[in-house]
A and B are shown apart, each in its own frame.
Chain A
Amino acid sequence: MSTFKPVLTEHIHQKDCHTLSFYKSIGGYTALDNVLKMNPADVIQEVKDSNLRGRGGAGFPAGVKWGFIPKDINKPKYLINNADESEPGTFKDRLLMNKAPHQMLEGMIIAAYAIGCQKSFIYIRGEFYKEFKMLEMALAEAYDGNILGQNIFGSDYNLDVVIHRGAGAYICGEETGLIESLEGKRGWPRIKPPFPAIEGYLQSPTIVNNVETLSCIPHIITRGASWFKSIGPEKGPGPRLFCISGRVNNPGVFEEAMGVSLKDLIFDRAGGIPDGKKLKAVFPGGSSSAILTAEEALDVNMDFDELVEKKTMLGSAGVIVMDETVDMVQACLNIARFYAHESCGQCTPCREGTAWLVKMLTRLVNGGGTPKDIDMIFEITDNIGGLIDFSKGSFGKTICPFGEAVAWPVRSFVEKFKDEFLAYLPQEKVVA
Chain B
Amino acid sequence: MSSNGSSKEKFTFENTEKVKTILSQYPDKKSATLPLLHLAQSENLYISGAVINTVADLVDCQPAVVMDCVSFYTMLYTKPQGRHIIQVCQTLSCSLNGADALVDHVTDKYGIKPGETTEDGRFTLMKVECLGSCGTAPVVQINKEYHEGLSQNLIDELLETHQ
Interface, chain A (partner B; CB < 8 A): 76, 85-91, 93-94, 119, 125-130, 162, 164-170, 181-187, 202, 243-247, 251-253, 283, 287, 318, 320, 322, 326, 331, 334-335, 338, 341-342, 344
Contacts and interface: CB of A to CB of B under 8 A. Distances in A.
A245 B135 contact: yes
A184 B38 CA distance: 12
B132 A125 contact: yes
Contacts of B129: 88, 170, 338, 341-342
A88 B25 contact: no
B69 interface: yes
B19 to A, nearest CB: 15
A167 B132 contact: no
B26 A167 contact: no
B134 A318 contact: yes
A246 B68 contact: no
Contacts of B135: 91, 243-245, 251-253
B76 interface: yes
A218 B37 CA distance: 35
A243 B134 contact: yes
A162 B25 contact: yes
B30 A183 contact: yes
Contacts of B64: none
A170 B135 CA distance: 19
Contact of A181 (B34, B97, B134, B136): B34
A168 B30 contact: no
The 3 A-B pairs with the shortest beta carbon distances in the complex, nearest first, are A184-B33, A168-B74, A167-B73
Contacts of A341: 129
A85 B134 CA distance: 12
Interface stretch (B7-15, B108-116, B140-148): B140-148
A89 B144 contact: no
Contacts of B130: 86-89, 170, 287, 338
B63 to A, nearest CB: 13
Given A165-B35, A245-B137, A202 B28 contact: yes
Interface string B1-45: 000000000000000000000000111101111110110000000
15 contacts: A86-B130, A88-B93, A90-B134, A130-B145, A164-B31, A169-B73, A170-B130, A183-B31, A185-B33, A186-B69, A202-B28, A251-B135, A322-B96, A338-B91, A342-B129
Contacts of A91: 132-135
B152 interface: no
Interface residues of B, number: 41
Interface of B: 25-28, 30-35, 37-38, 59, 68-69, 72-76, 90-93, 95-97, 128-137, 141, 144-146
Contacts of A344: 72
Contacts of B37: 167
A129 B144 contact: yes
Nearest to B93: A245
Contacts of A251: 93, 134-137
Contacts of A253: 135
Given A167-B74, A244-B135, A331-B96, 9 more contacts: A88-B129, A119-B27, A164-B31, A167-B38, A167-B76, A168-B74, A170-B129, A243-B134, A334-B91
A156 to B, nearest CB: 21
Contacts of B68: 185-186
A253 to B, nearest CB: 6
Contact of B131 (A127, A244, A334, A342): A127
Nearest to A161: B25
Contact of A86 (B38, B97, B132): B132
A123 to B, nearest CB: 10
Nearest to A322: B96
B92 A334 contact: yes
A128 B146 CA distance: 9
A129 B145 contact: yes
Contact of B134 (A88, A127, A170, A326): A88
Contact of B92 (A76, A119, A252, A331): A331
